[in-house]
Structure formats: C-alpha cells, structure tokens
Chain A
Amino acid sequence: MAKEIFEEKKRAEEEFEPLIVAFCCNWCSYAGADLAGTSRFEYPTNIRIIRVMCTGRIDPTFVLETLRMGADGVLIAGCHPGDCHYQKGNYMMEKRFDYVKKAVKSTGIEPERVRLEWVSASEGGKFAALVREMTAQIKQLGPSPFRFVRNPK
C-alpha cells in the first residue's frame, strides 16, 4: 500500500510541468530570449514570455495577479544595472521587488517562485540557462498553491 502511494506520488511529481510567466524588457531580455532562439540554445518550453517596454513598467499587481491565476513561477528579466534604456527603470524594479517578495510571502506562497534577473541582449546562453535552472527549481518546489485555478479538478 505504502509502495503504491509512493509510486503514485512519484508519478505525479514526474508529470508536473510548471508554468512560468516571464516579463522581459523589450531592449535587453526580450532580445536575449530572441538570441537564445536564433542561436538554437535549447531551453524548456515551460516559459511564457510577456514583453514589456521596461521592468520599471511592471506593477507589483502584475506579479500577484499572475500567481493568483495559477502560474507556478514568475520571472522578471531586465537590463543589467546601469544599462536601462530609460536610465533607471531597472533600479525602480529592484527596489519594488523587495516589497513584491514580502507581499508574496505574506500571502502564503513561496517567495522563491518569483525571481528578478538581469539578462542583456547578447546573453542568449544565459537566458537559456536561467530558464533551465528556474524550471528545475520550480519543479522541486512543486505545483503552485493556486494550481486549482487552472485545474479545478
């Protein structure tokens, strides 16, 4: 009996494919993701990219709403500090991100599901590696507590 339960749990874990929503800035990270594609770097298909003009545009509610809608992880990717097309958009996001993480933690969702990373337009390899690493991390964390929103069963 215990073996059956263990196997069933293992199967469920194996079947779990996380859904990660990435907010990429138009000038660096989106171009980096594009480069990863054109350079034929392989990365998991668990990621869904949303292009925004700058990470400074990302409101904390975007992240919370995304998690609320059942996403297993949220990745925010922007230009390296000092490289922002709009001068200080990524610095603004960096400050705001602390508060976002605290808010996510206070709701009872693991704050590790939300990540802020810097990827420049020439770092296709880094983007692919980042997606691979994050997918593995979310797989380890397991499904989001809001998974029931996507899968009512």
Chain B
Amino acid sequence: MSEKESLKRKTDAAIDAFKSQRLRWVTGRSQVKVEIDEERYRQVVDVIMRDEIERHMIIGALKEKGLLTVEELSQLTGLQPNKIIQHMIALRRNGVITEAGEKNRQYLYRLI
C-alpha cells in the first residue's frame, strides 16, 4: 500500500469516526456528568477515538473491496490481525458486518 493511499485511508477513517454516534457522544460534551476525573475521561476518549478510527478503516476497506478475510484486512489497513479480530467481534455484535463464506480456511467478512 502506497504512502498516499495509507494517508487517504486513515484520514477518511478519522472523518467517518468523528461522524459516528459513539465518538460524537464523548467529544461533543461540554460537561462530563460521570463520576471520573478529567484526566481519566480524556484517556477513555483517546481509546474510543483510536478504536473508532481503526473500525472505520476496516469498514472503509470492506466498502471498497466487498469480501475480505482478516489477513487481507490486515494488509490493507496495516493493523495487527489480533486487533482486527477484536474489532470484528465488536462490529459483528453491533450488526455492522457478517460472515460470508470462507477462503483459505479463513472467514470472509462483508458489510450488512
């Protein structure tokens, strides 16, 4: 994957992540109503932001290519396969992706 392509993919994912309900909910607040201190809250938001950007990179790749395995996703996005599997579990639970057959003894995934 070229540098330009990787940059484009990452930025598009970041834009989509900031459009997502989950990230908007935590970054759009002027006051935090939960019982944790500011520093801890920022750390939580950082984790959510990183996760959302990575998930949108996966969604972007699936939108572009249609059917992909974890290995292919890893090559396209530059993320570690175990990290991708973690995101796939969350995305599957949220009803964003589903399995659609097998390839080289690996599940193929597609967007719902």
Contact = CB atoms under 8 A, between A and B. Distances in A.
A61 interface: yes
Interface stretch (A1-9, A28-36, A87-95, A111-119): A87-95
Interface residues of A, number: 24
B11 interface: yes
A50 interface: no
B45 interface: yes
B18 A64 contact: yes
Given A92-B30, A103-B49, A103-B53, A109 B11 contact: yes
A98 B42 contact: yes
Interface string B57-82: 00000000000000000000000000
Interface residues of B, number: 22
Interface of B: 3-4, 6-8, 10-12, 14-15, 17-19, 27-28, 30, 42, 45-46, 49-50, 53
Interface of A: 59-61, 64-65, 67-68, 88, 91-92, 95-96, 98-99, 102-104, 106-109, 145-146, 148
